Structure formats: structure tokens, C-alpha cells
């Protein structure tokens, strides 16, 4: 795809539903009793992979234009699929579903696309095995395909070496089926959508600092979860591309409606403040246990900052875009403690450095992040998305503010999380 620079970006946009919450709605809805209705569900390829996996385990799921109805069959209502489960490109599907499958009374093999087959699964195999699970990497490389033979599990206290919501969620979901309580302690707090939704569905789950405890046998139905209505907020990880474009282009103003601002996801807003970005939160609200606001974003003179420590997990998926924004800031931006970026859909540190350098940026790769010296104008270039949706969207926003044309390779990978992205971006640059 080829993109030309834009004079400005203006108008109102409603971004699609949050990816993490959409996945969890299907998973928890499937193992809850009764009906779960998910409004503003994200119809991106990743969440469709989750739907397909649960349909194959006997769950009736209806998708009518963004409203998804799941006929939950309770904790013990899944049936064995008739073949391998395909998680596509989705790390969330692969890791969370493993936590649900480990205690089932059947065996399953899970796999996904070429990217998924390179992503680390040892991080869930280890704690689930400690709980008594029989789960192994078929090629012995710690990656999918995974073979899971369901077994009875027991609760553990897991001290996770990484702040990862996928690891935490896999252990907590397995904990719903285990004997005794299950605890997970993280080095820093990762996104807490699983905890919020489990509580909303009646589970006995408590958080204290960076430790979460789930006790099985809780729940309004006396031993399980009860489905309900979930209104999925807009995904801040999809909003960031419009936010960044509005900040770096002159004469720009964008209103991004109904964005999820859960504190464990909203590190971006803090960093925007540190960079001197003009971002105002309007219409704050809360539905289905998740806070939201409209984000009003105006062109800004950005300044460099240091991004490190506990804010990193709260903006992990937005960091590539912030690294791009930092090229337009005055001074140096340092991103550290972000080695997790290397094990996402692509190595997001290496690919950001490669692509931004191709566009003329002064950027350096470090062991756990990047150093960006801002204030050098970017020029168009051919950039490779590596089929990573967040990289493609970041460079579409960068292209608007670069001089000359930018070509993004494998640009259609945005279908993973935001199929309408390019149309929306184009509409806003024409307003």
C-alpha cells in the first residue's frame, strides 16, 4: 500500500471494540452458565479465531453485526473438538485457551500461523505444568503446536517472571477448575480485564497489589460463572494511531469516541502528558466494569521523555507508535524495560528501528528498548510491516507526516485488529 502525506487530520472517529475484552467475552461467556451478550465486539481476525475455537468445542455463538451472543454451557460444558484448534495469529487465543483446556476431560492440539509458531509458550507451559497440567510443545521448541491432555489441576502461587496478562490469565482460568486457590504475582501489574470480567460473572477473585487470587467454587451460581451483558469499549490500542497522527500533523483535531481507559491500559495517556501532548478526556463513563472516555486530541509541540518501569505493561502495544511520535518531538526519548516488545507479533524493537531509520529517523536499538533523538523530519520509504498489524498502522500514521510517498508492505495485516483502518484514516485526512 502506498500512502501520501496529509495536510492535517480532523473529525470524529469511533474505533472498534477492545481486542482483549472481546476475546475474554467469548472465552468466559463459553464457560459461564446462561447467555452472554457482547456488544461492540471486535470483528478482527484474532477474535474470530477465538469464536471459531469455541464453536468447535460445541458452543453456540451467533454474530450479528458486532453483537455476539454466546450460549454458555458452564465450566464443564465444553466438548472435544474433532481436530486441531487453529488460533491463527492470536497469542491471546493460544495462551488463554490453554488455561481453559488444561483441566478439561479431553485432549486437544492447538496451533496457529507462522508467527504464532515462533512465539514463546514456555511461559504458560511452566505454570500450567506446576498445576499438574500435561501440556507440551510438539516440536520441543517451547512454541505451538501445543498438545494438551486434560487432567485434574491443583492451585499454586505462581511468581511470574514477566508482567504478562496472557500468562496471568492462563493461570487464573486454569485456577477456576483447580483444587484450592490459585495466586499469581507479577513483577508489575499487567492489564486486568480477565479479573474484572471474572468478577462481573460472579467468580471469587481478589487483587491486592500485584497479586491476584482466584478461589474455585465461588460464583453466583454456586460453583461457576454466570453470563451477562458486556459492552466492549473502544480499543485504546486502535485509537493510538489517530491520536499520534493528530499530535504530529499541524492544524489537526480528532475526537476519538468511547475509548477504554482502564488504568492498567492507559499508560499512553500519562506518557502523552509527559510529552506535552494536548489530549483531553471528555464524557468519562463506566460500563461492564470498564471505564471509558472520549479523547480530544490536538496538534502539539511534543518533547522527549523517558518511558520505563511500571508504565511499560500499561502501554506495551502502544510503544511502537509512541516511538514513532518521538521522532517528531524535541529532544531525546528513551524507552527501556520493554524487552517484551521482541516477542510480539514481530520483534517490534528491531522492526521499528529498521523502518524508522529507513525514513530518516535518528533511532538506536538497545537491549530492552530504543533511544530516539527527535526533531529530524521523516521522509517516505518502503517499510516492511512483517505482517504485524500494529507496525503497519504505526507507519500509516507516520506516512501522513513524512515528506514524499511511503509504501507499507503486507499492509492488509491490519485485518487482525482493525479491518476498517485505512478507510477511516483516509476519511479523516479529507475532512
How far does the chain reach from its first CA to its final CA, in angstroms?
A: 21
102 vs 316 by CB, closer to ligand S3P: 316
CA distances from 372 to 186, 266, 323 (A): 29, 22, 7
368 vs 407 by CB, closer to ligand S3P: 368
87 vs 359 by CB, closer to ligand S3P: 87
HEC profile for 286-334? EECCEEEEEEEEECCCCECCEECHHHCHHHHHHHHHHHHHHCCCECEEE
CA distances from 182 to 130, 214, 216, 254 (A): 11, 5, 8, 44
Task: In whole angstroms, give the CA distance from residue 105 to residue 128.
Answer: 16
**Spatial contact of 321 and 302, defined as CB atoms under 8 Å apart:** no
CB of 2 to ligand S3P, least distance (A): 28
72 vs 120 by CB, closer to ligand S3P: 120
Q: Which residue is associated with the grid cell 501522513?
A: 400
Angle at 424 between CA 423 and CA 426, to 5 degrees: 65
CB of 5 to ligand S3P, least distance (A): 29
CB of 91 to ligand S3P, least distance (A): 6
CB of 70 to ligand S3P, least distance (A): 18
Considering 235, 317, 384, 388, which one is annotated as catalytic?
317
299 vs 394 by CB, closer to ligand S3P: 394
Residue 256 bridge partners (DSSP)? 13, 295
Binding site for ligand S3P (CB under 6 A): 20, 92, 164-166, 169, 190-191, 316-317, 340
125 vs 378 by CB, closer to ligand S3P: 125
Q: Which three cell numbers stand for residue 148?
A: 494438551
How many alpha carbons lie under 13 Å from residue 423 in its C-beta half-sphere? 6
CB of 18 to ligand S3P, least distance (A): 9
In the annotation, is 368 catalytic? no
Q: Which residue is associated with the grid cell 496457529?
A: 112
Task: In whole angstroms, give the CA distance from residue 252 to residue 8.
Answer: 5
CB of 123 to ligand S3P, least distance (A): 8
Surface-to-core class of residue 1, CB atoms within 10 Å of its CB (0-12 exposed, 13-18 middle, 19+ buried): middle
Q: Where in the sequence numbering do the catalytic residues fall?
A: 317
Amino acid at each position: 500500500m502506498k500512502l501520501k502525506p496529509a495536510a492535517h487530520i480532523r473529525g470524529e472517529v469511533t474505533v472498534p471494540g477492545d481486542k482483549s475484552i472481546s476475546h475474554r467475552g467469548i472465552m468466559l461467556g463459553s464457560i459461564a452458565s446462561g447467555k452472554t451478550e457482547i456488544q461492540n465486539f471486535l470483528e478482527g481476525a484474532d477474535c474470530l479465531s477465538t469464536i471459531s475455537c469455541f464453536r468447535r468445542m460445541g458452543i453456540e455463538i451467533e454474530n450479528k453485526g458486532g453483537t455476539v451472543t454466546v450460549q454458555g454451557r458452564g465450566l464443564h460444558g465444553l466438548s472435544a473438538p474433532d481436530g486441531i484448534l487453529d488460533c491463527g495469529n492470536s497469542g491471546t487465543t493460544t495462551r488463554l485457551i490453554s488455561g481453559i483446556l488444561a483441566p478439561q476431560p479431553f485432549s486437544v492440539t492447538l496451533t496457529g500461523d507462522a508467527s504464532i509458531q515462533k512465539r514463546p509458550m514456555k511461559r504458560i507451559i511452566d505454570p500450567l505444568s506446576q498445576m499438574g497440567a500435561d501440556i507440551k510443545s510438539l516440536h520441543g521448541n517451547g512454541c505451538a503446536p501445543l498438545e494438551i491432555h486434560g487432567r485434574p489441576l491443583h492451585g499454586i502461587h505462581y511468581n511470574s517472571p514477566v508482567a504478562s496478562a496472557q500468562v496471568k490469565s492462563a493461570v487464573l482460568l486454569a485456577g477456576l477448575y483447580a483444587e484450592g486457590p490459585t495466586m499469581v504475582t507479577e513483577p508489575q501489574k499487567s492489564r486486568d480485564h480477565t479479573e474484572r470480567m471474572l468478577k462481573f460473572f460472579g467468580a471469587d477473585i481478589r487483587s491486592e497489589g500485584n497479586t491476584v487470587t482466584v478461589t474455585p467454587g465461588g460464583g453466583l451460581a454456586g460453583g461457576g460463572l454466570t453470563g451477562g451483558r458486556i459492552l466492549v469499549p473502544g480499543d485504546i490500542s486502535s485509537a493510538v494511531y489517530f491520536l499520534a497522527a493528530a499530535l504530529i500533523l499541524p492544524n489537526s483535531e480528532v475526537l476519538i469516541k468511547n475509548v477504554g481507559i482502564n488504568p492498567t491500559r492507559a499508560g499512553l495517556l500519562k506518557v502523552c502528558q509527559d510529552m506535552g501532548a494536548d489530549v483531553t478526556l471528555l464524557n468519562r463513563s463506566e460500563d461492564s466494569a470498564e471505564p471509558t472516555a472520549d479523547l480530544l486530541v490536538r496538534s502539539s509541540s511534543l518533547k522527549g521523555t523517558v518511558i520505563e518501569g511500571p508504565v511499560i505493561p500499561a502501554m506495551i502495544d502502544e510503544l511502537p507508535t509512541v516511538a514513532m511520535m518521538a521522532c517528531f518531538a524535541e529532544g531525546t526519548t528513551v524507552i527501556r524495560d520493554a524487552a517484551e516488545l521482541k516477542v510480539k507479533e514481530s520483534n517490534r524493537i528491531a522492526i521499528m528501528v529498521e523502518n524508522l531509520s529507513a525514513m530518516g529517523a535518528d533511532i538506536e536499538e538497545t537491549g530492552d528498548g530504543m533511544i530516539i533523538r527527535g526533531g529530524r523530519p521523516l521522509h517516505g520509504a518502503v517499510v516492511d510491516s512483517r505482517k504485524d498489524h500494529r507496525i503497519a498502522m504505526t507507519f500509516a500514521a507516520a506516512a501522513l507526516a513524512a515528506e514524499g510517498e511511503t509504501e507499507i508492505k503486507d499492509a492488509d495485516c491490519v485485518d487482525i485488529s482493525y479491518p476498517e483502518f485505512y478507510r477511516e484514516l483516509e476519511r479523516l485526512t479529507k475532512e
